[in-house]
Amino acid sequence: MAMKNIVMRAAGARLLQRGGCSNAAALRGPARWSSSTQTGFTVSVTDDDMHDAPPPTMGDGGVTPFLGVKPADTSPALESCMVSPDAHPTWKLFRLLDEDGHLVEGASMPPSVSAEEWVRMYKAMVSQQEMDTIFYGSQRQGRVSFYMTATGEEAIHIGSAAALAFDDPVYAQYREAGVIMWRGFTKQQFADQCFSNVRDLGKGRQMPIHVGSSEHHFHTISSPLSTQIPQAVGAAYALKQEGRDNVAMCFFGEGAASEGDFHAALNFAGTLEVPIVFFCRNNGYAISTPTHEQYRGDGIASRAVGYGMHAIRVDGNDMAAVYAATKAARELAISNSCPVLIEAMTYRVGHHSTSDDSSRYRSIDEIKKWKEDVDPISRFRNYLEKEGLWSQDEDTQLRSDERLEVLKALEAAETAGKPSLEEMFTDVFDEKPAHLVEQEEAMLAHIAKYPDKY
């Protein structure tokens, strides 16, 4: 035959794949086409250069192999070829701790994490919760214009952040404040950003809690849904080209997974075989739209199969499980140069934002039940207390200290001056183009003409 490296193996054997992503689609890697017939053999083409290869000839079973699909037997029975979504198994949920903080049967904590580190991670969850509570209140007082909390989702942010390398680039949505907090972004920096003062790294040009910091390898958050997902794939491709031992980490909600950018990004990631971890927070609601109105499939993890990538569904309220899942996904993505999708199941206890009243589309009883029964912070505190690593007195003192630190940061941020108006026209171009120079001059002339208005 004209093609090189033809491999014949027993049916059911794994396709040859570059990088070893064993559940990847047949398109990935050298295995460009394959066929399985009733003769019991699988034919896999493993030639890296298929551009000028002639089409495959008819195989022993009388079936010409089709491009771009996995091997399968043929059948004249239409009903056997019509696959129902109910025929696929339900996706399992990875969990280490139950709702009361006990290790589930057969589980053990990740050995790479010390007792001191678990305590640090717990403190970070509390810190995020206290900051959210006070910043939310400051918006209600009219001190800042907008805010979004992560109440009920703290384990997702801290558990995943702790499993990453510090220089793994992060592309977040707008609820991942805990991720950059774990990397050292201070409460004062959060407060300065929310007040858009002179110390704000974004120079007052972003909505509150839309943070970003090159020092922390955290790309600036953008409000429009899903824009960060294809951008993260591009970053991952650059990491691959540079040969770095890093992944691009991309966060988004299940609502964002309904956007076209999500599907385009996953397809690019699969075909380009890039080291990226897609992290979906499935918290039950896309603003006011519940999941049963968003999709009909088995969550978001089930979509990974169609794009030829690994996936894991994890209990997002179990910080230990989130850490273990993220660490495993990161290692797989780097070692095999392939994308991995994580779906973290959780519940958004708070309103979508300060612009939302969630009581209009869900009951107070529903919120109360999730807050009391499945709270991630209470779950992990129970685990620490059972292990003798934490106490109620320590918890009371921690919360008091955190609240005081946040309040001091707010006071300092509120009294700081605002960025110069000239900053409206900086940081986009290396040299200001003529149209921006013209706009800036017009603005300054307007202010000079009406100084009592500004």
Give the residue numbers annotated as catalytic, written as ranges.
348, 352, 361
62 burial via Cβ count (<10 Å: 0-12, 13-18, 19+):
exposed
Indicate the angle between helix axes 392-415 and 187-195, nearest 10 degrees.
Answer: 40
Strand order, beta sheet including 248-253 = 93-94, 310-315, 340-345, 276-282, 248-253, 170-171
Task: Collapse the DSSP code of 170 into the 3-class scheme (helix H, G, I; strand E, B; otherwise coil) and give the result.
Answer: strand
CA–CA distance, 39 with 106 (Å, rounded to integer): 42
Say if residue 451 is exposed, middle or buried (CB neighbours under 10 Å; 0-12, 13-18, 19+): exposed
The tokens for 64 are: 């010409």
From the CB of residue 356, how many other CB atoms can be counted at a distance below 10 Å?
A: 15
Residues 6+ apart with CB under 8 A from 179: 157, 158, 160, 161, 170, 172, 218, 251
What is the separation, in whole angstroms, between the first and last Cα of the chain? 80
Which residues, 6+ apart, have CB-to-CB distance to 110 below 8 Å? 320, 323, 324, 327
Cβ–Cβ < 8 Å for 348, 153? yes
Token pair of 231 as six digits: 């951008």
